[in-house]
Structure 1
Amino acid sequence: MYLNVAEIESAITSLHGAYPASSETIDLPHLTHDGRATRLLRVGTRQSDEVPAILLLGGMHAREWVPPDALISLAADLLEAHDIGTGLGYGESTFTAAQVERVLEELNLFFLPCVNPDGRHFSQTTSAMWRKNRRPAPEGSVGPSCVGVDLNRNFDFVWDHKAKFAPDADVHTSDKPCDPQVYRGPAAASEPETRNVVWALDSHPRIRWMVDVHSAVPVILHNWGSDQNQSTTPSDNFRNPDLDTVRGRPDDGIGEFIAEPDLKSAVELAERMNDAARAVRGVDYGVEPAYGLYPTSGTSDDYAYSRHVTDPADAKVYGFTIECGDTFQPVFSEAEQVIREVSAALLALALNAPEVAED
């Protein structure tokens, strides 16, 4: 059975209690609209400022029930395997005891299994297909769809799509509070859940990679989602106001700049994640820039990578999205298989990320 919100928080407590030498719980500063507190679970034997780190997000969208369970499952697997000195196997995707040890002793993994606990609770108890958080409806609005914000349109990256994109760019977001799916919120980072993710990045500058686990396509996405990638014209980037009337159009010769070495690293890491996921039971997720799915603004993965461009004092954080499985709430026997695919992919990232970053 899928974990509910209380069980996710209980699992975080229990895992830290069972493995105190290789984990830490970290309170996030912002309560949700319904007053819920959320925490990070750091998995690793080194202090947070000692080694590079990966931030793992799940449950951004309420109806996507698999990702939070996948992150709790992976954290439990890693902590137990490291404690007893064994490897891990997910179908034909296998990892040795030495590899598990390397992950926990040379990296930190910050797990935020359920970014959106209010939404998950509502999805699991009232409306299964609910996607957004539970921000109260604006005064004067009518109808249940007027509640909530799509958290993965709320981050401070070309958030104001009407000002930042071509009118015909078909960017998948909305400024209408009663949009039932993709309302971006009243301001960038208006939501406490969004601000908790920003706080995690701000407070842990050794984070170099971030993966936001979603469902369901499946596919592994890398930067960018705002426009097609290009590596020849550095001035053509999200900070250039001259692109605000043309951003997001396909095949127009203008795209979002990403340095060639960064693009090479992002693609290589995504492909290694895909290889590991495919080895579980033969499902090929595939790899593509996020724009290949559809143009977006205000997403977590693009925000994470954009930070070092906006402020060179910030660490460079490669952003990825794993869209896992092919349905939001599969029967749990199928969910367990998807959880294995996600676990294998994330372990492959952890093992390969430091090496690829040094290339």
Structure 2
Amino acid sequence: MYLNVTEIESAITNLHDAHPGATEIITPPHPTHEGRTARLLRVGTRPVDEVPAILLLGGMHAREWVPPDALISLAADLLEAHSLATGLGYGASAFTAPQVTQVLDSLNLFFFPCVNPDGRAFSQTTSATWRKNRRPAPAGSTGPSCVGVDLNRNFDFLWDHTAKFAPNAHVHTSDKPCDVQVYRGPAAASEPETRNVVWALDNHPQIEWLVDVHSAVPVILHNWGCDQNQSVTPADNFRNPDLDAVRGRPDDGIGEFIPEQDLQIGVELAEQMNDAVRAVRGVDYGVDAAYGLYPTSGTSDDYAYSRHLTDPAATKVFGFTIECGDTFQPDFGEAEQVIQEVSAALVALALKAPEVTHSV
């Protein structure tokens, strides 16, 4: 059975109690609209300021039930394998005991399994297809669809799509509070759940990679999602107001700048994850730039990577989204297989990310 919000928080407590030397519970400062506190579990044997880190997000969208369970499952697998000095196997994706030790001794993994606990609770008890958080409806708005914000359109990256994109860019977001799927919120980072993710990045500059686990396409995405990638014209970028009327259209000769080296790193790491997924049971998720799925604004992965470009003191964070499985709420037997795919992908990333990123 899928974990509910209370069980997710209990699992975080229990994993820390069982492995106090390799974990730390981190409590973000912003309670949700319904008063819940969603916590992170740091997994790693080294002090937080000594080694690089990966931030793993799940449960951003309420109806996507697999990702929170996948992150709790992976944390438990890694901690048990490290404690017992054993390897891990997910289908034909096999990781040795020394590799498990390498992950926990050379990295910190910040597990944030349920970013949107209000939404998950509502989805699991009242409306299974609910996607947003549970921000109260604006004054004067009526109807159940007027509640909530799509958290993965609420980050401070080209958030105001009506001003920042071409009118015919067809950005997959909305400024209408009663949009049942992709309402972006009243302001960038208006939501406590969004601010908790920002807080985690702000307060842990060792984080160099972010993976936001979603469902269901499936595909593994790397930066950017706002426009097609290009590595030729540095001035064509999200900070350039001259692109506000034209940004986001396909094949128009204008794209979002990303240095070739960074693009190569993003693609290589995404392919490493996909190789690990495919080895579990032969399912090929595929790899693409996020724009290849559809144009977006205000997403976690692009926000994470954009930070070092707007603030030179910020850490460069490579952003990824794993869209796992092919349905939001598969029967739990199938969910367990998808959890193995996600787990294999994330262990592969943890093993390869420092090598690939720091070797160039």
TM-score, normalization by structure 1: 1.00
Mapped to 2, the partners of 1:232 and 1:165 lie a distance apart of 21
Output the CA distance in 1 between the equivalents of 2:234 and 2:347: 33
Give the SS at the match of 2:184. coil
How do 1:285-304 residues align onto structure 2 when only pairs under 5 Å count?
A: 285-304=285-304
Aligned-partner residue type, residue 316 of structure 2: K
Return the offset for 1:37. Answer: 0.6
Give the distance between the partners of 1:265 and 1:132, measured in 2 at CA.
Answer: 32
Q: Deviations over 1:91-114 (max 9, x none)?
A: 000000000000000000000000
Structure-1 residue corresponding to 2:144? 144
Distance 1:358 1:44 in 2: 20
Q: What are the residue-to-residue correspondences of 1:130-279 with 2, within 5 Å? A: 130-279=130-279
Alpha-carbon distance in structure 1 between the residues aligned to 2:354 and 2:26 = 24
Deviation of residue 328 (structure 1)?
Answer: 0.1
Q: Aligned residue for 2:125?
A: 125
Once residues 314 and 233 of structure 1 are traced to their aligned partners in structure 2, the CA distance between those partners, rounded to angstroms, is 23
Quote the Cα distance in structure 1 between the aligned partners of 2:47 and 2:153: 32
Deviation at 1:196, TM superposition (A): 0.1
| Structure 1: runs of 5 or more not aligned | none
CA distance in 1, matches of 2:312, 2:251: 30
Query: For 2:160 and 2:14, how far apart are their aligned partners in 1?
Result: 41
Residue 47 (structure 1) shift: 1.1
CA drift of 1:215 comes to 0.1
The residue number in structure 1 matching 2:330 is 330
How many residues are matched?
Answer: 359
> Equivalent residue for 2:31?
31
Deviation, 1:38, is: 1.2
Percent identity between the two aligned chains: 82
Confirm or deny that 1:50 pairs with 2:68. Answer: no
Q: Distance in 2 between matches of 1:358 and 1:337?
A: 32
Instruction: Give me the whole-angstrom Cα distance separating, in 2, the residues matched to 1:312 and 1:289.
Output: 24
- Counterpart Cα distance in 2 of 1:42 and 1:11: 13
In structure 1, C-alpha distance between the alignment counterparts of 2:183 and 2:110, rounded to whole Å: 28
2:309 aligns to what? Answer: 309
TM-superposed CA distance for 1:65, in Å, is 0.0
Cα deviations across residues 273-294 of structure 1 (Å, max 9, x unaligned)?
A: 0000000000000000000000
1:159-191 residue CA offsets vs partner (Å, 9 max, x unmatched): 000000000000000000000000000000000
Kindly report the root-mean-square deviation, in angstroms, between the aligned alpha carbons of the 2 structures. 0.3
Which residue pairs with 1:111 in the alignment?
Answer: 111
Tell me how far 1:329 sits from its aligned partner: 0.1
Unaligned 5+ runs, structure 2:
none
What displacement does 1:8 show? 0.1
In the alignment, the residues of structure 2 paired with residue 82 and residue 326 of structure 1 have an alpha-carbon distance, to the nearest angstrom, of 31
After superposition, the C-alpha distances for 1:29-74 in whole angstroms (9 at most, x for unaligned) are 0000000011110000011111000000000000000000000000
| Counterpart residue type for residue 338 of structure 2 | V
Secondary structure (helix, strand or coil) at the match of 1:101 reads helix
Question: Structure 2: which amino acid aligns with 1:298?
Answer: G
Q: Which residue of 1 aligns with 2:356?
A: 356
- Are 2:42 and 1:20 aligned? no
For 1:252, the aligned partner's letter is: D
Following the alignment from structure 1 to structure 2, what is the Cα–Cα distance between the partners of residues 13 and 50?
A: 24
- Partner letter of residue 260 of structure 1? E
TM-score w.r.t. the length of structure 2 is 1.00
Cα offsets for 1:293-335 (capped at 9, x unmatched): 0000000000000000010100000000000000000000000
Q: Which amino acid aligns with 1:211?
A: V
1-structure distance, mates of 2:126, 2:316: 40
CA distance in 2, matches of 1:54, 1:280: 22
* Distance in 2 separating the partners of 1:218 and 1:310: 31
Q: How far does the alpha carbon of each residue in 1:137-168 deviate from its partner, in whole angstroms, 9 at most, with x for none?
A: 00000100000000000000000000000000
Aligned partner of residue 55 in structure 1, secondary structure: strand
Runs of 4+ in 1 over 6 A off after TM superposition: none
**Partners of 1:24 and 1:79 in 2: CA distance:** 12
